[in-house]
């Protein structure tokens, strides 16, 4: 059995956001699950580098495009590794192997007779890398409501793909393969799009940036393949097309293509299958569109304006608010994104939502189960797992139901339902302990009954760790280690078995999985306040009235100390006139506490207080930084001496 899953390949015009992380995490979860099932998994992701918008982004920064895309691709790769994404292939569309694949694919299209030379006259949006007809524009601009940017007029000889010919075949294919396009409501959108009539699609551009058309195709001098066509072929490149036939036969067709709704209907659900039909290649088995993550109702976009939550600062926020490790914060983020909204729907990304899931589902339901049981094993059985062969039938059934629930949900990428099934099982586990009251059994001296209850509870925890492993891999490792496993080989089949924890196994050191601190902090504000220079140019315009709501004051640092357990935070005492405030500031990478006393700073005096690492913070100190360089953090300070408490306007 093989399983080939893909994410979109991302434009490298700006750094990844939690939006781009979403598709990648979803693909990683599926890949991990299928690996646990013993399947031969190919999980491919990568970067879409031949876009004009990447060149523009490089030019804006005064950089050479090739050097720029290389650097950005590396950033994406590192970001995914940091999010514990276990991809098997990372393709860059500037790679030679990809050029080979695109050219071979175009030769196949040309042979099919479905490529013809024509002239394109029309509009092009560089931001969306999409052609539009005059009547599609809105006020002369890009009709995509998320974009609305200026379009450019193009008149050039190009190759067209005879897309119009494939409408009926596509409709028939969709009809015959109900699981091909998901979710279902989007399938209907695609059907309507096709019924509305497909227009032949322009598949080349005149440019020096991109994959050159193969020289065997006549009159294609100076032409490169249109970036969307080139990008879609990446799915073949990773499967070994065209040279590695063995690999290609093994992995193609892909089992699942994952992407957001914006690139589903026009590209992945219609153009791509039609081109594959023309080239005589099998179609992917599933094409699945998820929704958009938004902030304040606006799509989170790499280069967009407004708040751009990026994974790093979001994890920092979770760590600061809860005191957990980076690994746990990451698993919390992975869990939150898949549990919070049904795959396919849009969702509002919020720090409060994430911390709510952390507290309720992770610390409470999952963490509690572990932390109730392990201390009892330590206390009543000297840390050794008791021996018994009788499973608790209800708990055993609940475990099997959870495993089957996840399996069903994974087929249609219904992650939320899959996690709900697992969480019903965790609830059953916690109820089991309440009902059986092992502490009472210990008191009454019913040793056999106590063994049975403790062993069943441990088995439930082992299975829970396995079930959550695709979504929260490092948490599963930690739970297993606390159960005393060393080098345990996980496999999905173990979710249906009972009695795998060896009797007599010595448990590990119980440590809080998802530690808790005051959850009352203003997490949304902190996500929003994560330093981010890339969005500064396109921040929304605010009125003077809105600005005046911010109470900025001159303050003087009169005390500074480290915050225990947090290397980036300092606890400052700041005098703002009549008042002294405690403020926690993430500036420890750039300042020693001793440097700060006596410094004048500018503070936001009316920020909602938040508890960070157990310290109540009553304001925010303004500082700037060069993104990614924590040593560059510099506090804002008045140019001339001003009294403490003076207003800054």
For binding to ligand ME8 (CB under 6 A), which residues are involved?
8-11, 17, 19-20, 22-23, 48, 231-232, 234, 259-260, 263, 292-293, 299-301
In whole angstroms, how close is the CB of 53 to ligand ME8 at the nearest point?
A: 9
SS3 assignment, position 61: coil
Strand-strand pairing, 40-48 and 2-11:
parallel
> Which of 341, 335, 325 has the alpha carbon at shortest distance from 360?
335
In whole angstroms, how close is the CB of 290 to ligand ME8 at the nearest point?
A: 6
Q: Which is nearer to ligand ME8, 147 or 483 (CB)?
A: 147
In whole angstroms, how close is the CB of 128 to ligand ME8 at the nearest point?
A: 8
Strand-strand pairing, 204-206 and 623-626:
unpaired
In whole angstroms, how close is the CB of 529 to ligand ME8 at the nearest point?
A: 19
In whole angstroms, how close is the CB of 524 to ligand ME8 at the nearest point?
A: 17
Dist. CA 207–CA 124, nearest whole Å:
14
Q: Which is nearer to ligand ME8, 175 or 538 (CB)?
A: 538
Six token digits for residue 411: 């087929």
In whole angstroms, how close is the CB of 71 to ligand ME8 at the nearest point?
A: 16
Cβ contact 459:391 at 8 Å: yes
Six token digits for residue 386: 């008791």
Q: Which is nearer to ligand ME8, 147 or 495 (CB)?
A: 147
Q: Which is nearer to ligand ME8, 22 or 514 (CB)?
A: 22
Cβ neighbors of 194 (< 8 A, separation 6 or more) are: 167, 170, 171, 270
In whole angstroms, how close is the CB of 41 to ligand ME8 at the nearest point?
A: 20
Six token digits for residue 517: 């601190």
Cβ contact 210:52 at 8 Å: no
With 0-12 CB in 10 A as exposed, 13-18 as middle and 19+ as buried, what is 195?
Answer: exposed
Q: Which residue is nearest to ligand ME8 (CB)?
A: 19
In whole angstroms, how close is the CB of 266 to ligand ME8 at the nearest point?
A: 11
Helix axes 415-436, 326-340, angle to 10 degrees: 110
SS3 assignment, position 613: coil
CA distances from 605 to 252, 395, 613, 619 (A): 59, 53, 20, 5
Q: Which is nearer to ligand ME8, 19 or 521 (CB)?
A: 19
In whole angstroms, how close is the CB of 501 to ligand ME8 at the nearest point?
A: 39
Q: Which is nearer to ligand ME8, 299 or 462 (CB)?
A: 299
Six token digits for residue 583: 């403020």
Helices (H) then strands (E): counts for the chain = 22, 25
With 0-12 CB in 10 A as exposed, 13-18 as middle and 19+ as buried, what is 595?
Answer: exposed
Q: Which is nearer to ligand ME8, 95 or 518 (CB)?
A: 95
Q: Which is nearer to ligand ME8, 46 or 555 (CB)?
A: 46
Q: How many CA atoms lie within 13 A of 293 on its CB side?
A: 23
Q: Which is nearer to ligand ME8, 254 or 479 (CB)?
A: 254
């Amino acid at each position: 059995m093989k399983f080939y899953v893909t994410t979109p390949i991302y434009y490298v015009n700006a750094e990844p956001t939690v939006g781009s992380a979403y598709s990648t995490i979803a693909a990683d979860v599926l890949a991990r699950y299928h690996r646990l099932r013993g399947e031969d998994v190919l999980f491919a992701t990568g970067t879409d580098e031949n876009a004009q918008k990447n060149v523009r982004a490089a030019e804006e920064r005064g950089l050479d495009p090739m050097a720029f895309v290389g650097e950005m691709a590396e950033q994406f790769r590192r970001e995914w590794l940091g999010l514990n994404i276990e991809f098997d292939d990372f393709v860059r569309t500037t790679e030679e192997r990809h050029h080979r694949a695109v050219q071979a694919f175009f030769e196949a299209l040309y042979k099919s007779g479905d490529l013809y030379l024509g002239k394109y006259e029309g509009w092009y949006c560089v931001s969306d890398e999409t052609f539009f007809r005059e009547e599609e524009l809105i006020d002369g601009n890009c009709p995509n409501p998320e974009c609305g940017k200026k379009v450019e007029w193009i008149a050039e000889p190009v190759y067209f793909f005879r897309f119009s010919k494939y409408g009926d075949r596509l409709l028939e294919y969709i009809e015959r393969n109900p699981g091909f396009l998901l979710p279902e409501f989007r399938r209907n959108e695609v059907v309507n799009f096709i019924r509305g009539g497909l227009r032949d699609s322009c598949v080349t551009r005149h440019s020096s940036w991109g994959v050159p058309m193969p020289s065997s195709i006549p009159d294609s001098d100076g032409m490169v393949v249109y970036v969307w066509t080139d990008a879609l072929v990446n799915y073949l490149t990773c499967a070994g097309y065209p040279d590695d036939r063995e690999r290609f036969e093994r992995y193609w067709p892909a089992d699942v293509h994952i992407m957001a709704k914006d690139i589903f209907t026009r590209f992945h659900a219609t153009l791509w299958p039609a081109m594959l039909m023309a080239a005589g290649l099998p179609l992917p088995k599933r094409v699945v569109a998820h929704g958009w993550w938004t902030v304040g109702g606006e799509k989170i976009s790499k280069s967009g304006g407004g708040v751009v939550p990026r994974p790093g600062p979001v994890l920092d926020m979770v760590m600061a608010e809860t005191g957990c490790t980076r690994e746990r914060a990451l698993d919390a983020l992975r869990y939150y994104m898949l549990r919070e909204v049904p795959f396919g729907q849009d969702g509002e990304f919020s720090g409060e939502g994430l911390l709510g899931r952390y507290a309720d589902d992770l610390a409470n339901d999952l963490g509690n189960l572990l932390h109730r049981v392990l201390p009892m094993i330590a206390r009543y059985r000297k840390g050794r797992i008791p021996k018994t062969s009788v499973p608790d039938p209800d708990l055993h059934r609940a475990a099997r139901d959870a495993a089957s629930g996840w399996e069903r949900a994974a087929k249609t990428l219904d992650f939320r339902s899959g996690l709900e099934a697992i969480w019903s099982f965790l609830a059953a586990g916690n109820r089991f302990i309440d009902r059986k009251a092992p502490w009472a059994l210990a008191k009454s001296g019913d040793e056999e009954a106590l063994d049975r209850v403790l062993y069943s509870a441990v088995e439930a925890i082992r299975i829970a760790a396995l079930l959550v492993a695709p979504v929260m891999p490092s948490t599963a490792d930690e739970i297993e280690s606390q159960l005393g496993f060393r080098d345990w080989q996980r496999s999905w089949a173990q979710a249906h078995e009972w009695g795998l924890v060896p009797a007599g196994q010595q448990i590990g050191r119980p440590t809080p999985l998802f530690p808790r601190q005051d959850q009352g902090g203003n997490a949304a504000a902190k996500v929003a306040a994560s330093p981010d220079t890339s969005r500064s140019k396109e921040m929304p315009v605010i009125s003077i009235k809105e600005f005046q709501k911010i109470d900025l004051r001159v303050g003087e640092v009169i005390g500074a100390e480290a915050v225990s357990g947090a290397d980036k935070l300092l606890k400052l005492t700041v005098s703002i006139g009549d008042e002294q405030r405690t403020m926690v500031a993430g500036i420890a990478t750039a300042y020693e506490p001793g440097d700060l006393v006596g410094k004048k700073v500018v503070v936001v005096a009316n920020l909602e207080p938040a508890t960070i690492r157990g310290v109540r913070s009553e304001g925010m100190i303004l500082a700037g930084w060069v993104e990614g360089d924590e040593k560059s953090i510099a506090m804002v300070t008045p140019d001339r001496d001003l009294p403490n408490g003076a207003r800054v306007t």
